[in-house]
Amino acid sequence: MDTIKIGVAGLGRLGLIHAENISVMKGVELFAICNLDADFNREIAERLDVRYNYTEYEEMIKNPELDAVCIATPSGLHTKQIELALEKGLHVFCEKPIGLDTADIERTIEKIDSHKDMVFHLGFMRRYDPDYLYAKQLVDAGEIGDISIIRSYGIDPISGLEGFVKFAKKSPSGGIFLDMGVHDIDAIRWITGSEVSKVWANGSNKAAPELDEVNELELGTATMQLENGVTAFVVLGRTASHGYHVEAEIIGTKGMLRIAATPEKNKVTLFNEHGVVRPTSQNFPERFKEAYIGEMRDFLDCIRQNIQPEVTALDGLRGTQVAIACQESLEKDSVVEVTY
Amino acid sequence: MDTIKIGVAGLGRLGLIHAENISVMKGVELFAICNLDADFNREIAERLDVRYNYTEYEEMIKNPELDAVCIATPSGLHTKQIELALEKGLHVFCEKPIGLDTADIERTIEKIDSHKDMVFHLGFMRRYDPDYLYAKQLVDAGEIGDISIIRSYGIDPISGLEGFVKFAKKSPSGGIFLDMGVHDIDAIRWITGSEVSKVWANGSNKAAPELDEVNELELGTATMQLENGVTAFVVLGRTASHGYHVEAEIIGTKGMLRIAATPEKNKVTLFNEHGVVRPTSQNFPERFKEAYIGEMRDFLDCIRQNIQPEVTALDGLRGTQVAIACQESLEKDSVVEVTY
Amino acid sequence: MDTIKIGVAGLGRLGLIHAENISVMKGVELFAICNLDADFNREIAERLDVRYNYTEYEEMIKNPELDAVCIATPSGLHTKQIELALEKGLHVFCEKPIGLDTADIERTIEKIDSHKDMVFHLGFMRRYDPDYLYAKQLVDAGEIGDISIIRSYGIDPISGLEGFVKFAKKSPSGGIFLDMGVHDIDAIRWITGSEVSKVWANGSNKAAPELDEVNELELGTATMQLENGVTAFVVLGRTASHGYHVEAEIIGTKGMLRIAATPEKNKVTLFNEHGVVRPTSQNFPERFKEAYIGEMRDFLDCIRQNIQPEVTALDGLRGTQVAIACQESLEKDSVVEVTY
Amino acid sequence: MDTIKIGVAGLGRLGLIHAENISVMKGVELFAICNLDADFNREIAERLDVRYNYTEYEEMIKNPELDAVCIATPSGLHTKQIELALEKGLHVFCEKPIGLDTADIERTIEKIDSHKDMVFHLGFMRRYDPDYLYAKQLVDAGEIGDISIIRSYGIDPISGLEGFVKFAKKSPSGGIFLDMGVHDIDAIRWITGSEVSKVWANGSNKAAPELDEVNELELGTATMQLENGVTAFVVLGRTASHGYHVEAEIIGTKGMLRIAATPEKNKVTLFNEHGVVRPTSQNFPERFKEAYIGEMRDFLDCIRQNIQPEVTALDGLRGTQVAIACQESLEKDSVVEVTY
Of C267, C282, C293, C297, which to mutate for an interface test with A (greatest number of A Cβ within 10 Å)?
A: C267
| Contacts across the B-C interface (CB distance below 8 Å) | 60
So what's the pLDDT on residue D1?
58
The Cα–Cα gap between C60 and C75 comes to: 19
Q: Does C256 touch chain D (CB under 8 A)?
A: yes
Please give the full DSSP string across C276-311, using - where no structure is assigned: EEE-B--SHHHHTHHHHHHHHHHHHHHHHHT---SS
| Cα B130 off chain centre by | 16
Cβ-contact C219, D145 below 8 angstroms: no
The answer to whether the peptide bond before residue C74 is cis (omega within 30 degrees of 0) is no
Beta bridge mates, B149:
B231, B251
C149, C202, C242: residue with CB nearest D225 = C202
| Cα A308 off chain centre by | 18
CB contact under 8 A, B240 and A225: no
For residues C11-30, give the mean pLDDT: 96
Residue of D nearest to B136 (CA): D268
For residues C319-329, give the mean pLDDT: 97
For residues D241-262, give the mean pLDDT: 97
Is the torsion defined by CA of B286, B291, B295, B296 positive or negative?
Answer: positive
CB contact under 8 A, A207 and B145: yes
Cβ-contact D318, D301 below 8 angstroms: no
Region of poorest pLDDT, from C74-88, C206-220, C228-242, D291-305: C206-220
CB contact under 8 A, D275 and A242: yes
Predicted confidence band of residue C1 (pLDDT cuts 50, 70, 90) = low
Q: Does B258 touch chain C (CB under 8 A)?
A: no
Cβ-contact B165, B215 below 8 angstroms: no
Cβ-contact B194, B226 below 8 angstroms: yes
Cβ-contact A315, A186 below 8 angstroms: yes
D24, D268, D270: residue with CB nearest B26 = D24
CB contact under 8 A, C259 and A268: yes
Q: Mean pLDDT by 10-residue block, N- to C-terminus, for chain B (340 residues)?
A: 92 97 96 97 97 98 98 95 98 95 96 97 97 98 97 96 87 89 98 98 91 91 97 97 98 97 97 97 97 98 97 97 97 95
Q: Does C266 touch chain B (CB under 8 A)?
A: no
Looking at CA atoms only, how far is residue C273 from chain B in angstroms?
5
Q: Which fold has domain C4-124+303-308?
A: Rossmann fold (3.40.50)
Cα separation of the two ends of chain A:
40
Q: Does D280 touch chain A (CB under 8 A)?
A: yes
Q: What beta strand segments (E) does chain D contain?
A: 4-9, 28-34, 52-54, 68-71, 91-95, 120-123, 147-157, 196-204, 219-226, 231-240, 245-252, 256-259, 268-272, 275-278, 336-337
CB contact under 8 A, B148 and A233: no
Domain regions of chain C by residue span: 4-124+303-308, 126-288+319-337
- pLDDT averaged over chain A? 96
Amino acid at A332: K
Looking at CA atoms only, how far is residue C279 from chain B in angstroms?
5
Looking at CA atoms only, how far is residue C274 from chain D in angstroms?
13
Which class is C126-288+319-337 in CATH?
Answer: alpha beta
C130, C271, C272: residue with CB nearest A266 = C130
Residues of chain C with C-beta less than 8 angstroms from the C-beta of A277: none
For the stretch A204-237, pLDDT in tens is 999 888 888 888 999 999 999 999 999 999 999 9
Predicted confidence band of residue D210 (pLDDT cuts 50, 70, 90) = confident
pLDDT over 90 (residue C313): yes
Residues of chain A with C-beta less than 8 angstroms from the C-beta of D275: 242-243, 265, 270, 277-280
Residue of A nearest to D157 (CA): A273
Element holding B30 (H helix, E strand): strand B28-34
Q: Does D258 touch chain A (CB under 8 A)?
A: no
Cβ neighbours for D301, distance < 8 A, ≥ 6 positions apart: none
- Which of A122, A134, A8 has the alpha carbon at shortest distance from A73? A8
- Cα Rg of chain A, angstroms: 20
- pLDDT averaged over chain D? 96
C235, C241, C255: residue with CB nearest D241 = C255
| Contacts across the B-D interface (CB distance below 8 Å) | 79
| Cα B178 off chain centre by | 10
So what's the pLDDT on residue A225?
98
For residues C7-28, give the mean pLDDT: 97
Residues of chain A with C-beta less than 8 angstroms from the C-beta of B237: 251
| Cα C276 off chain centre by | 33
So what's the pLDDT on residue D234?
98
The answer for C4, left when phi > 0, alpha when psi is -120 to 50, beta otherwise, is beta
For the stretch C92-139, pLDDT in tens is 999 999 999 999 999 999 999 999 999 999 999 999 999 999 999 999
Amino acid at D40: F
More confident residue, A168 or A239: A239
Name the superfamily (CATH) of residues D127-290+319-337: Dihydrodipicolinate Reductase; domain 2 (3.30.360.10)
For the stretch D87-107, pLDDT in tens is 999 999 999 999 999 999 999
pLDDT over 70 (residue A132): yes
The Cα–Cα gap between C153 and A187 comes to: 37
Looking at CA atoms only, how far is residue B262 from chain C in angstroms?
7
CB contact under 8 A, B280 and C280: no
Q: What is the DSSP letter of A263?
A: -
Taking the CB of residue C210, how many other CB atoms lie within 10 A of it?
15
For residues C182-195, give the mean pLDDT: 98
- Which of C226, C214, C115 has the alpha carbon at shortest distance from C167? C214
Which class is B127-286+319-337 in CATH?
Answer: alpha beta
Residue of A nearest to B234 (CA): A233
Q: Which fold has domain D4-118?
A: Rossmann fold (3.40.50)
CB contact under 8 A, D271 and B259: no
Cβ neighbours for B244, distance < 8 A, ≥ 6 positions apart: B155, B156, B157, B263, B280, B281, B282, B283, B284, B286, B287
For residues D191-198, give the mean pLDDT: 98
B221, B225, B255: residue with CB nearest A241 = B255
- Cα Rg of chain C, angstroms: 20
pLDDT over 70 (residue C157): yes
A221, A231, A242: residue with CB nearest B149 = A221
Looking at CA atoms only, how far is residue B327 from chain D in angstroms?
31
CB contact under 8 A, A134 and C266: yes
Looking at CA atoms only, how far is residue C335 from chain A in angstroms?
32
The Cα–Cα gap between B239 and B159 comes to: 8
Beta strands B268-272; B275-278: pairing state:
antiparallel
Q: Does A272 touch chain D (CB under 8 A)?
A: yes
For the stretch A253-294, pLDDT in tens is 999 999 999 999 999 999 999 999 999 999 999 999 999 999
So what's the pLDDT on residue A171?
78
CB contact under 8 A, D200 and C240: no
Let me know if the fold of B4-118 is the same as that of B127-286+319-337: no
So what's the pLDDT on residue C178?
94
For residues C19-45, give the mean pLDDT: 97
Residues of chain B with C-beta less than 8 angstroms from the C-beta of C263: 276
For residues C205-209, give the mean pLDDT: 89
For the stretch B57-103, pLDDT in tens is 999 999 999 999 999 999 999 999 999 999 999 999 999 999 999 99
Q: Does C237 touch chain D (CB under 8 A)?
A: yes
CB contact under 8 A, A237 and B251: yes
For the stretch A143-188, pLDDT in tens is 999 999 999 999 999 999 998 988 888 877 889 999 999 999 999 9
So what's the pLDDT on residue A200?
98
- Cα Rg of chain B, angstroms: 20
Q: Does A261 touch chain D (CB under 8 A)?
A: no
Q: Chain D 187-216, CB below 8 Å of chain C: which residues?
A: 200, 202, 204, 206-207
CATH label, A126-283+319-337, candidates 3.30.70.920, 1.20.1250.20, 1.10.287.130, 3.30.360.10: 3.30.360.10
Q: What is the DSSP letter of D125?
A: G
Beta strands C245-252; C147-157: pairing state:
antiparallel
CB contact under 8 A, B263 and C278: no
Amino acid at B13: R
So what's the pLDDT on residue B213?
85
All chains having 3 or more CB pairs closer than 8 angstroms to chain D: A, B, C
Q: Does C237 touch chain B (CB under 8 A)?
A: no
pLDDT over 70 (residue A1): no
B263, B264, B276: residue with CB nearest C242 = B276
CB contact under 8 A, A276 and D245: no
The Cα–Cα gap between D54 and B56 comes to: 52
